[in-house]
Chains A and B, each alone.
Chain A
Amino acid sequence: MSARRPYIRSMDGWWRRDPFFIRYMIREATALLVVAYAAVLLLGAIRLAQGESAYERWLAALRSPWSLAFHLVLFAGLVYHTWSWFQIVPKTMPSISVGGKKLQPAVITGTGLVAAAFVSLVLLLLLLFIGS
C-alpha cells in the first residue's frame, strides 16, 4: 500500500496572499468602472436621440454633486486601469527588435502611457475649443 497521502491546501482568500494579487484584483475591478463610464456616455447618446429636453435633463444630472463625486471615482479608476493595463501590455506582444536589440518592456509601457495621456489631452483641448 502506498504511504502517500497528499495534502491539498485551500485557495480561500488567495488574492489577499500577495500584494501582486491585490493589484491584479484592483486592475480587474477597475474594468467595471470603465464599463460604468461607457454606460453613462451611452445613456447620453440615448437621451440625445430622445430629443433636446431629454438631453438637457441628462446634462443637468451630470452636473449634480453626486454625479461629480461619481465621476471623480470613475476617473481615479480609469487612470489606475490604464496604468496597470500598459504594465501588462509588453507581456502580450511578440518581442519587437529595433536595430537588432530587443525593445525593453519599460519602453513599451512608457510609450503606451504617453500615447494615452497625449490622446486624452488632445481630446480635452478639442472639447474645450468646441465648448468656447
Chain B
Amino acid sequence: MNETHKVIAIEVLRYRPELDEKPFFQTYQVPFTEEMSVLQGLLYIKDELDGTLSFRWSCRMAICGSCGAMIDGVPMLGCHTFLRDYYPNKVRVEPLAHFPIERDLVVGADDFIGKLERIKPYIVPKEPRTLAEGEYLQTPAQLERILQFSSCINCMLCYAACPQYGLDPAFIGPGVLALLHRYNADSRDAARADRMQLVNAEEGVWSCTAVGYCSEVCPKGVDPANAVNQNKTASAADYFLHWLPKGSGK
C-alpha cells in the first residue's frame, strides 16, 4: 500500500450467533484503489483488519452468485460493485434482506435451495433416448424463448428485492419461478404438467403483486418478474382449459 491510496469507511452489519443478541454495525477504514470491488474491500478487512468477519464469495466475476449483499440498501453482487462509486461517502454492507442471518453477511439459503429442488430444475425428456439417436435439436426461435431465463446464477438478489417474499417466505419467489419457466418453456422438456402444480398454488405466481424490483436488481438480465407474470397467464389458461372436455385443450 502506498500513500496515494484513498481510504473508505465500510460499515458492515455483524452478527455472531454465539456472542450477539442481535446484529450491530461495525465500521472499518479500508484503503482502496480505483479497480477495487466491495468484495475486495471485505477481503481486505478479513486479511488485514479483522479475521472474524464472515461472508461468502468464490468467483469474483459475477458468475457463481455467492457474494450477494445489501450494499447501501440495494441488493447487489459484492464483486460487481465498486468502492470508487461510494467514495468519499461510507458504504454500508448488510446481509441480503428477507433471509435469516446465519453469521455476519452469511444468510441461510436452505429455503431457496429447497424450492430450487422442488421445481425439477433440469430437462425431463419426453421419452428415453439412446445416444445413437443423437442430440436434441432446437431452432434459434426455441432457444430465444429460454435463453434469458437460463442466465440465472442463483444469487438470490431478486429475493432480497421482493417484499412479498419477505412478508411470506412460503412464496416460491422470483428466481426459482424464472428457472421453472426456463424449463417449462424448453422445447425438449416434458415435465410442464408437474411444474404447473407449483405455479398454480397460492405460493406460486399468484403471490406476486408485480412490484417489479426483482428485475431491476438482477445482475444477469433474467427479468424474473416477466417469467412470473407470463406464468400468471399460463396458470389462468391452465385453470380454464381444465374445464374443457379432454382433447379440446392444448
Q: Which residues 89-110 of A have a CB within 8 angstroms of B? A: 90-95, 97, 102
Interface size, chain B (Cβ < 8 Å) = 33
Knowing A6-B108, A18-B73 touch, does A91 contact B101 (C-beta < 8 A)? no
- State which residues 212-248 of B face A: CB under 8 Å: 212-213, 215-216, 223, 225-226, 229-230, 232-233
Q: Is the CB of A7 within 8 A of B100?
A: yes
A14: contacting residue among B163, B216, B223, CB under 8 A: B163
A21 touches B213 (CB 8 A): yes
Is B126 interfacial (CB 8 A cutoff)?
no
In the bound assembly, the distance between CA atoms of A90 and B226 in angstroms comes to 8
Chain B residues near A20 (CB, 8 Å)?
211, 213, 216
Q: Indicate whether A70 reaches chain B with its CB closer than 8 angstroms.
A: no
Report yes or no: A94 in contact with B108, Cβ–Cβ below 8 A.
no
Nearest-neighbor residue (CB-CB) of A24 within chain B: B211
Q: List 5 A-B contacts (CB under 8 A).
A: A6-B108, A7-B22, A11-B98, A91-B210, A91-B225
Contact A4 B166 (CB under 8 A): no
Chain B hits for A9, CB < 8 A: 23, 97-98, 101
A5-B163 in contact given A18-B73, A94-B230 (Cβ < 8 Å): no
B139-180 vs A: 1/0 string, CB under 8 Å?
A: 000001100100000000000000100110000000000000
Known: A91-B210, A91-B215. A7 touches B23 (CB 8 A): yes
Q: CB-nearest residue of chain B relative to A97?
A: B144
Distance (whole angstroms) from the CB of A8 to the closest CB of chain B:
5
**Which of the four size classes fits the interface of chain A?**
20 to 34
User: When the two chains form their complex, are residues A6 and B101 in contact, meaning their CB atoms are under 8 A apart?
Assistant: yes
> Which residues in A have their C-beta under 8 angstroms from that of B98?
9, 11
A91-B212, A94-B230, A97-B144 as given contacts; A8 in contact with B166, CB under 8 Å: no
Chain B binding site: helix, strand, loop or mixed by DSSP?
mixed
Docked-complex contact A18 and B74, CB < 8 angstroms = yes
Within 8 A of B (CB), among A40-94: 87-88, 90-94
Tell me the bound Cα distance from A14 to B166 in angstroms.
9
- Whether B17 is near chain A, meaning CB under 8 Å from some CB there, is yes
A97 and B112 alpha carbons, distance in the complex (Å): 33
Please indicate the chain B residues that have their CB under 8 angstroms from the CB of A6 in the complex: 17, 100-102, 108
A6-B108, A88-B210 given as contacts; is B163 within 8 A of A21 (CB)?
Answer: yes
Contacts of A92 in B (CB 8 A): 210, 226, 229-230, 232-233
Given contacts A17-B73, A91-B229, A92-B210, contact A7 B144 (CB under 8 A): no
A15 interface residue (CB < 8 Å to B): yes
Residues of B within 8 A of A8 (CB): 100-101
* Beta-carbon contact of B74 and A21 below 8 Å: no
A11-B167, A92-B210 given; A4·B229 CB < 8 A: no
Q: Which residues of A contact B167 (CB under 8 A)?
A: 11, 14
B18 at the A interface (CB under 8 A): yes
